[in-house]
Structure 1
Amino acid sequence: MLTLGVNIDHIATIRQARRTVEPDPVAAAVLAELGGADGITVHLREDRRHIQERDVRLLRQTVRTHLNLEMAATDEMVAIALDIKPDYVTLVPERREEVTTEGGLDVVGAVDRLGDVVEALQDAHIPVSLFIDADSKQIEASAKTGAKFIELHTGRYAEAHSPEERRKELGILAQGAWRAREAGLRVNAGHGLTYWNTYEVACIDGMEELNIGHTIVSRATLVGMERAVREMKEILQRAALDIKFRR
């Protein structure tokens, strides 16, 4: 069954806008789990623009599903992950000037470095996922690092300006998921997914988890976190049923 990882970064974005103590990402995670989240995702950026190290430490103690720590492949972040020991780590690219993550890792150009990071984390029993574009060379390189998972970057699909472009990008994602499974990788996906475009991605065969944040947090400001998560879970469950009946 496809699972839902709820990214709560933007709860922290609201808090950091006023440099105050609320809203609390830990409380948001509890409500997300009550709403049916299968996991909690946070991105501890080097610039600490939203999630803080203290948040990750508290979440490690309180999350009852699983905690996915998104981070750059730096020595500082590896040391933090080895100390906190999240349930798994997703390695992502970072640029300080970006508003949000703009694309996947260049695994091809950094396979040795990323392989070392993957080995260090997985030797500590922390499975690693690599956030990549659905490109055959990046998928092949990801398998070479020894990572257990990839997370396919769905941004181009989410930002498609026409039905034709959207179908094309969806096909690229489906092909990427197939190639990854053939290479022995487990497949997650995320970035830019909303209540209006998630269903099609959820129907891709072999997808294990979708990590979704901004749209859920946005909806939660109007209807509450539990309901916002429940509504997204219903989309994933509908996709799972449709896949079952399609087979």
Structure 2
Amino acid sequence: MVDLNAEMAELWSSLGAPAPGRPHVIQVVAARRGEGTSTIARELARFTSARAGRKTWLVDMDLATSNQFQTLSSQPERFGVLGPAVAASPDESAFFTVQPPAPRSDGGVWPDSKYLTAHSVGGSRLWVTRFNRDALRGRQKVHIIPGAEYWQALRRHAEVIVVDSPSTDRSQAALTVAQHMDQTVLVVSAQQPDVKPPAQLRDALATAGGRCAGVFFNQASVQPPAFLRAILP
């Protein structure tokens, strides 16, 4: 088990350590799968809830696996026991849409928000979302949407929202929601010599209206190469 408290404290400080009472949405993403994005997002959410004392939501944008829920629920001795499922949307808004919508017996359709639940993690300061993929039927598919409603609603219920986005080599989710994030942190493996994909992601985020706050060099035991620091300031 790797203790990342020192690294998370440094990351939190570098992000400006937003003042209490001012909701802040931080997206964590990598250009390539396997860079360790989910670990960094999870540890940052754990830090902001436990050490910084902020009510934190960890929003898992990987709707195919709900990896964050799976990991947290499998390690109660470290993260705490997960609470029962509750609605993950304060106002029935959602950051995704399920198409075609599922019909209800009263003639209406099930709202997208019904597919997403949230669970408290070891208390009331940390929450994690879970997409109920088992509820999809037939030809239904889920798509991330660019609307601001969900993020605005969640800001009224959490101080810090950490968004774990799938890598952009397999999903455009991070770019779709980039404009609604206060900051986006790029995760790059310290052992990865190819800087082109993360540099392209930085530029794509800017084009999409996002703000790249910087780069977290995952598993870094040495200084990142000078050329990498120059390309990704």
Q: How does the TM-score come out when normalised to structure 2? A: 0.38
Bigger proportion of residues as helix:
1
State the TM-score, normalizing by the size of structure 1.
0.36
Higher relative contact order (CA 8 A, sep 6+): 2
